[in-house]
């Protein structure tokens, strides 16, 4: 089985999803798979998150599922029990980093400043979420913030304010392995059953990301 981070790096994009009903989980998984995007970050911003992960794990094991917005050990445990193969957080909490390491779960904590990155690097973090990427200054900001840490080989997944139009700018940075995108499967699209739209969004995002990765190869 492909390591989840290798899969994400190969795709160049991860859909960041807040889903309200577990009953929509399989249809969402099918839409992503139809769009050629076999990965999903289900954020723990809704009560349904753990049940959604479990439903996807059981019905569509070919989809690599992960958990987002992991802010405490309780949700980390729920995510793992529900089948999450990776996890992310908006900020850096050393306690969660240590807990994920103990569980052998690939974990990507969030950073926004050189101070954040200093603390994360000291804890052994080598994959970080740059969040909120747009507000924090975009690709130029990440290039500047990460430059003093380049010798450590830290890689990034920018999320928050990334769009299909800016995928290429982000992936032009070699330290960026993928971008996180909320536009691919919006909460309202899932709620309204617009799964064909989600599949089309996934297809378009995968295409743009592939072209960007090939360009920098």
Q: Which domain holds residue 81?
A: 4-109+163-216
CATH of the domain at 97: 3.20.20.70
In a domain, 150, yes or no: no
151: in domain = no
Tell me which of 20, 34, 41, 103 is the catalytic residue. 41
- 129 included as an active-site residue: yes
pLDDT tens readout for residues 143-182: 999 999 999 999 999 999 999 999 999 999 999 999 999 9
- Has residue 116 been placed in a domain? no
**How many Å is the Cα radius of gyration of the chain?**
16
Average pLDDT of the chain is 98
Catalytic option among 77, 78, 103, 129: 129
Q: Is 101 a catalytic residue?
A: no
Q: Is 123 part of any domain?
A: no
Given a cut of 90, is residue 217 above it in pLDDT? Answer: no
Domain membership of residue 19 (yes or no) is yes
Domain total in the chain: 1
Mean pLDDT over residues 88-101, rounded?
98
> Is the residue at 118 inside a domain?
no
Report if residue 172 sits inside a domain: yes
Sign of CA dihedral 23, 26, 31, 36: positive
Provide DSSP, the chain: ---HHHHHHHH-EEEEE--S-GGGHHHHHHHHHHTT--EEEEETTSTTHHHHHHHHHHH-TTSEEEEE---SHHHHHHHHHTT-S-EE-SS--HHHHHHHHHTT--EE-EE-SHHHHHHHHHTT--EEEETTTTTTTHHHHHHHHHGGGGGGT-EEEEBSS--GGGHHHHHTSTTB--EEESSTT-HHHHHTT-HHHHHHHHHHHHHHHHHHHHHH-
């Amino acid at each position: 089985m492909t390591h989840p981070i290798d899969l994400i790096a190969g795709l160049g994009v991860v859909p960041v999803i807040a889903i309200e009903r577990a009953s929509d989980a399989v249809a969402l998984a099918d839409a992503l798979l139809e769009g050629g995007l076999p990965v999903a970050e289900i954020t723990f911003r809704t009560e349904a998150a753990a049940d959604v992960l479990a439903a996807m794990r059981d019905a569509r094991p070919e989809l690599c599922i992960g958990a987002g917005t992991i802010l405490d050990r309780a949700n980390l445990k729920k995510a793992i029990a529900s089948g999450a193969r990776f996890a992310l957080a908006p900020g850096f909490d050393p306690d969660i980093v240590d807990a994920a390491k103990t569980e052998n779960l690939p974990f990507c904590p969030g950073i926004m400043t050189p101070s954040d990155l200093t603390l994360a690097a000291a804890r052994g973090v080598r994959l970080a979420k740059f969040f909120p990427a747009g507000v924090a200054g975009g690709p130029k900001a990440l290039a500047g913030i990460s430059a003093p840490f380049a010798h450590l080989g830290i890689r990034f997944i920018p999320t928050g304010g990334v769009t299909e139009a800016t995928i290429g700018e982000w992936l032009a940075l070699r330290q960026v392995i993928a971008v996180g995108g909320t536009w691919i499967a919006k909460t309202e699209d899932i709620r309204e059953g617009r799964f064909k739209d989600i599949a089309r969004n996934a297809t378009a995002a995968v295409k743009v990301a592939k072209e960007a990765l090939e360009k920098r190869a």
